Chain A
Amino acid sequence: DVKVTQSSRYLVKRTGEKVFLECVQDMDHENMFWYRQDPGLGLRLIYFSYDVKMKEKGDIPEGYSVSREKKERFSLILESASTNQTSMYLCASRERGTSNGELFFGEGSRLTVL
């Protein structure tokens, strides 16, 4: 069974803390994504990576950075968490070069910043 695994389902952090969200996929996919899901806003792309060490900004990259040191792992970093980053974060992966390909999602990481 194909899998995208996000390391933390629930996190509570304080304003100003550094936050790491980790994602691992076992499908050998080149493309990996970090989305933010908020009620009424759907999914908004934060960052996209199309290969190891390669990344592109999505629609809302401010306040976030990413790291892709290995093909299977894509990390989202909040350098200094703020309350407006309280949200559900979704990681996804897809095969390279397939604009019609299916996105495979993790179960999400719900982050609360106090």
Chain B
Amino acid sequence: AQSVSQHNHHVILSEAASLELGCNYSYGGTVNLFWYVQYPGQHLQLLLKYFSGDPLVKGIKGFEAEFIKSKFSFNLRKPSVQWSDTAEYFCAVTPYSSASKIIFGSGTRLSIRP
């Protein structure tokens, strides 16, 4: 079955630390990849996405993610986190051929100590 794994359930960092959140998916075909973020009390919003081209994609607020096809991974990174990055982060995968099948990971809660 298709699935998305986010192995880190809760990550706690201090401000200015570097961040990497893992995302692995299981699907044999071409995929589109997404990271969504949910700030406390707010709706989910798109952070960045990959669908073709350069496997290193940049998103809002200094986030980036790298698609490594051989590892079925799409890890999210930020070189220096801020307190305002406290949120829950969701990785999602859509098979290229499907507009409706969007598989979400279980989410990673990120807490930043000021």
Residues of A within 8 A of B (CB): 4, 31, 33, 35, 40-45, 48, 50, 56, 90, 92, 94, 96-103, 105-108
**CB of A15 to closest CB in B, whole Å:** 28
A100 touches B49 (CB 8 A): yes
- Given A97-B99, A103-B36, A103-B102, check contact A43 B90 (CB 8 Å): yes
B99 touches A99 (CB 8 A): yes
The binding surface of chain B is classed by DSSP as loop
B95 touches A99 (CB 8 A): yes
A99 to B4, CA, bound (A): 17
B99 touches A102 (CB 8 A): no
Interface size (B, Cβ < 8 Å)? 27
A32 to B6, CA, bound (A): 25
Chain A contacts for B43, CB-based, 8 A? 4, 90, 105-108
Chain B contacts for A106, CB-based, 8 A? 43
- Given A40-B9, A43-B90, A48-B100, check contact A103 B46 (CB 8 Å): yes
**CB of A105 to closest CB in B, whole Å:** 4
Q: What sequence of 0s and 1s flags, for each residue 95-111 of chain B, a beta carbon within 8 Å of any chain A beta carbon?
A: 11111101011110000
Chain B contacts for A4, CB-based, 8 A? 43
B106 touches A45 (CB 8 A): no
A100 to B34, CA, bound (A): 9
B44 at the interface (CB under 8 A from A): yes
